[in-house]
Structure 1
């Protein structure tokens, strides 16, 4: 499969328009003030952070964009399958289940027994069947075997040109609204979101830097970039940012990762810290994977000498009780953000 282009992102935007929300953009003047150095404030200027809120998307995450785009694209080409299978830690599972229901196609999701209960329940509610395995590798092997059956189509979570194009529509919408930004930030799991974001950003805002963030304890993408080849994780990392715990990036997404302007590895305490603060400041439900990008924003802003405008793609907002307890095991709200 060839690498997608900006034209593919535009086509995806038209294709999925009837099925997805054009999500809002939020700001926090208090956060902007906290993250602006005093010398900038004295001159009447400051940093501005805009949040594209995909946690308010149908199914609660950006993943619906890619899943819907694939199926709508297949329908355009008279290639809809009899059955869909997918492997996912949660948000892609919900997206496939929901999108499959839109096109009246049965779906089976292969995942681990440790999948978020909230995400698992929603996946089943949308009509898909869950197949649970002990490890992500076992689930990945099983989905490939299932995909070999007649009439069955496997839709991967990120390594598909139409998935990447669909995910890029979030940044496309945001940049159409904002016109000009200096930096664009997304979390990185398999790389589908940031790959689509890079396509949209390079076309609509070519001077903006595009920057990724992933958990330090699940840093396969960072290791891949350092070594110049795709590197897989050993085992299943127990990171709060479960949406970024993929074993490896894809052969389609890796070339886009290599074009990024920056990449940050984020410690677990910082993931919990920013999840708490974004929920408090924006008054919305934010996944740890989404909030992780703020650690990269702060690191990047510390290197800027002039007022900068940043766009953060808040990728999702699906959190179960167990994860929420882990996030709030320590209260970070007595430590306001500073640059």
Structure 2
């Protein structure tokens, strides 16, 4: 298994500078006042294509170009942000793309993927799409770009944390959502080099907790059926062998229920005035639980913690928005 170093992330950052946005760090004075700590948000929802996924896809393809090994065709299996990222990045190099996905793909994400020039091959279920993309990848001149389980994808995703840690200082803990684990793995590698004393903490939905189960078991456990969660960006059936290696090095890991996901999606959208996905909004529940236990576990008294949160994306379907706003959570302000 390939080791991924900070050098890989640094090279990825240089490689994709002209292809991605250097997204800003934002804060909410009101949220900081309510929680008594300082929360910094790296807003990848403002990234081109609306999510961090563009970093990994761009690095993967740009590295092929750097090595003079661009393929004739690119394929990927995704029903969300990875699909848009691959389509956009491949368009930069004028390479045709086919995205294999389910017929349940949101109309918004399907339209965006097609707009970036990709052809969509839709199937009744995820296993059928996965099988089809595997067969397609065996054709001459075709390269398959996986959504998370590849060193070049992980290195690309780690550039978000690299930037964020350059934009901030004295960070005590970094929180990141976990689906397949590419962003979490890249964040860990970058953070341990730039801020070795900072804790790196993963968060995933309780209804799609394959990573948490795997961490408890000590080996990768796949979900036996497709998870249903508001945090659809983290609804992966299992992590990969490349990402799991780094997930095991995280300092903590939290699982978040659906009501908490809806609560924090509403509040972050309200406080930050940004269109934020449930997949990353849920991270704030992990932040809350961490901050509630800081004095007890870290013996640092009442020190004001400096927390970095990676806001991974902002692509939300109308159906998800309706589900998120079934109940008005804004009646109950955040507190510890």
Within the alignment, does 1:80 sit opposite 2:77 as a pair? no
Cα deviation, residue 134, structure 1: 2.1
What do you get for the CA RMSD once the two structures are aligned? 0.8
Cα deviation, residue 163, structure 1: 0.5
User: Over residues 107-130 of structure 1, what are the superposed CA-to-partner deviations in whole Å (9 max), with x where a residue is unaligned?
Assistant: 011111222221111001100011
Written as runs of structure 1 = structure 2, the 5 A alignment for 1:13-32 is 13-32=13-32
Quote the residue 2:299 is aligned against: none
Does the aligned pair in 2 maintain the 1:135–1:236 contact within 8 Å? no
Does the aligned pair in 2 maintain the 1:89–1:242 contact within 8 Å? no
Taking structure 1 as the reference length, what is the TM-score of the superposition? 0.96
User: Over residues 295-339 of structure 1, what are the superposed CA-to-partner deviations in whole Å (9 max), with x where a residue is unaligned?
Assistant: 110010111123111000000000111111011111100010011
Report the Cα distance in structure 1 between the residues aligned to 2:285 and 2:149, rounded to whole angstroms: 26
Quote the residue 1:44 is aligned against: none
Quote the residue 1:4 is aligned against: 4
Q: Where does structure 1 lack aligned partners over 5 or more consecutive residues?
A: 37-46
Cα deviation, residue 25, structure 1: 0.3
Q: Which runs of 4+ in 1 moved over 4 A?
A: none
Quote the residue 2:194 is aligned against: 204
* Aligned partner of 1:231 among 214, 217, 221: 221
Quote the residue 1:127 is aligned against: 117
Cα deviation, residue 88, structure 1: 1.2
Number of residues paired by the alignment?
Answer: 329
Written as runs of structure 1 = structure 2, the 5 A alignment for 1:146-185 is 146-185=136-175
Q: Where does structure 2 lack aligned partners over 5 or more consecutive residues?
A: 296-302
Report the Cα distance in structure 2 between the residues aligned to 1:292 and 1:135, rounded to whole angstroms: 26
Within the alignment, does 1:276 sit opposite 2:266 as a pair? yes
Report the Cα distance in structure 1 between the residues aligned to 2:82 and 2:246, rounded to whole angstroms: 20
Within the alignment, does 1:35 sit opposite 2:35 as a pair? yes
Taking structure 2 as the reference length, what is the TM-score of the superposition? 0.97
Quote the residue 1:315 is aligned against: 312
Report the Cα distance in structure 1 between the residues aligned to 2:101 and 2:112, rounded to whole angstroms: 14
Does the aligned pair in 2 maintain the 1:181–1:205 contact within 8 Å? yes
Written as runs of structure 1 = structure 2, the 5 A alignment for 1:72-151 is 72-151=62-141
Does the aligned pair in 2 maintain the 1:215–1:266 contact within 8 Å? yes
Report the Cα distance in structure 2 between the residues aligned to 1:32 and 1:308, rounded to whole angstroms: 10
Quote the residue 1:338 is aligned against: 335
SS in 2 for 1:169: helix
